[in-house]
A and B are shown apart, each in its own frame.
Chain A
Amino acid sequence: QVQLAESGGGVVQPGRSLRLSCAASGFIFNTYGMHWVRQAPGKGLEWVAFIWYDGSYKNYANSVKGRFTISRDNSKNTLYLQMSSLSVEDTAVYYCARWGKNGYELDYWGQGTLVTVSS
Chain B
Amino acid sequence: QSALTQEVSVSGTVGQKVTLSCTGNSYNIGSYAVGWYQQISHGAPKIVMFGDSLPSGIPDRFSGSKSGTTASLTISGLQPEDEADYYCSSWDYRLSALIFGGGTKLTVL
With A44-B3, A44-B87, A109-B44 as given contacts, are A103 and B50 in contact (CB-CB < 8 Å)?
A: yes
Contacts of B47 in A (CB 8 A): 100, 105-108
With A104-B89, A107-B55 as given contacts, are A47 and B97 in contact (CB-CB < 8 Å)?
A: yes
B102 touches A59 (CB 8 A): no
CA distance A35 to B89 in the complex (A): 13
Q: Which of A46, A59, A105, A110 contacts B96 (CB 8 A)?
A: A59
With A102-B53, A106-B89 as given contacts, are A46 and B100 in contact (CB-CB < 8 Å)?
A: yes
* Beta-carbon nearest neighbor of A4 in chain B: B44
Nearest chain B CB to A73's CB is how many angstroms away? 23
Residues of chain B from 86 to 109 with CB closer than 8 A to chain A in the complex? 87, 89-91, 96-103
B37 touches A106 (CB 8 A): yes
Instruction: Let me know if A95 is at the binding interface, CB within 8 A.
Output: yes
Number of interface residues of A (CB under 8 A): 26
CA distance A61 to B97 in the complex (A): 6
CA distance A108 to B98 in the complex (A): 16
Instruction: Let me know if B51 is at the binding interface, CB within 8 A.
Output: yes
CA distance A97 to B43 in the complex (A): 14
Contacts of B90 in A (CB 8 A): 104
Instruction: Let me know if A111 is at the binding interface, CB within 8 A.
Output: yes
CA distance A97 to B51 in the complex (A): 18
With A45-B87, A103-B51, A104-B33 as given contacts, are A109 and B98 in contact (CB-CB < 8 Å)?
A: no
Contacts of B101 in A (CB 8 A): 44
**Can you identify 7 A-B contacts, CB atoms within 8 angstroms?**
A59-B97, A104-B98, A105-B35, A106-B37, A107-B47, A108-B47, A111-B44
